[in-house]
Amino acid sequence: MTALMVTKSGPRTTVQDLGRSGYQHQGLSPGGAADLRSFRWANHLLGNGTNAACLEITLGGFTATARQPLFLAITGADCQGTVNGKPIPHWGVFFIEAGDELELSTPSSGLLTYLAVVGGWQTRAFCGSRSCVSREGLTDLGVLAAETALPAMETPADLDMDACLKREVPAQVRCELESNAPLKLIPGPEYPTFSNLDRARFLSACYTVGHQSDRMAYRLDGPALQSAGGIVSKGVTCGTVQVPGDGKPMVLLNDRQTIGGYPIIGTVARLDCGRLAQKRPGEPVEFQWADVADCQSERLLFEQQFNMTPWAS
* Measured CA distances, 273 to 63, 265, 269 (Å): 28, 16, 6
* pLDDT at position 292: 95
| pLDDT recorded at residue 236 | 92
What is residue 138's predicted lDDT score, i.e. its pLDDT?
66
Q: How many Cα neighbours within 13 Å face the side chain of 254?
A: 26
pLDDT in tens, 286-301: 999 999 999 999 999 9
pLDDT for 230 equals 67
Over 70: is that where the pLDDT of 140 sits? Answer: no
Q: Which pLDDT does position 229 carry in this prediction? A: 67
Mean model confidence pLDDT for the chain: 92
CA dist 236 → 96, 125, 233, 286, 307 (Å): 42, 24, 9, 21, 32
Reference 142, options 1, 279, 6, 44; nearest CA is: 6
The answer to whether residue 260 scores a pLDDT higher than 80 is: yes
pLDDT (tens digit, 9 = 90+) per residue, 106-138? Answer: 999 999 999 999 999 999 999 999 999 987 776
Q: What is the pLDDT of residue 146?
A: 86
pTM confidence score: 0.95
Residue 243 in this model has a pLDDT that exceeds 70: yes
- For CATH 2.40.100.10, the residue range(s) in the chain are 183-308
Whole-number Å distance between alpha carbons of 34 and 278: 8
pLDDT tens, position by position, 165-191? 999 998 888 877 777 899 999 999 999
Residues 173, 75 contacting (CB under 8 angstroms): no
Identify the CA nearest to 169 among candidates 73, 34, 78, 276.
73
**pLDDT band at residue 273 under the 50/70/90 scheme:** very high
> What's the fold here for domain 183-308?
Cyclophilin (2.40.100)
- pLDDT for position 159: 83
**Which residues lie below 8 Å from residue 237, measured CB to CB, with a gap of 6+?**
252, 256, 267
Can you name the residues that pair with 71 across neighbouring β-strands? 95
User: Residue 231 has what pLDDT?
Assistant: 75
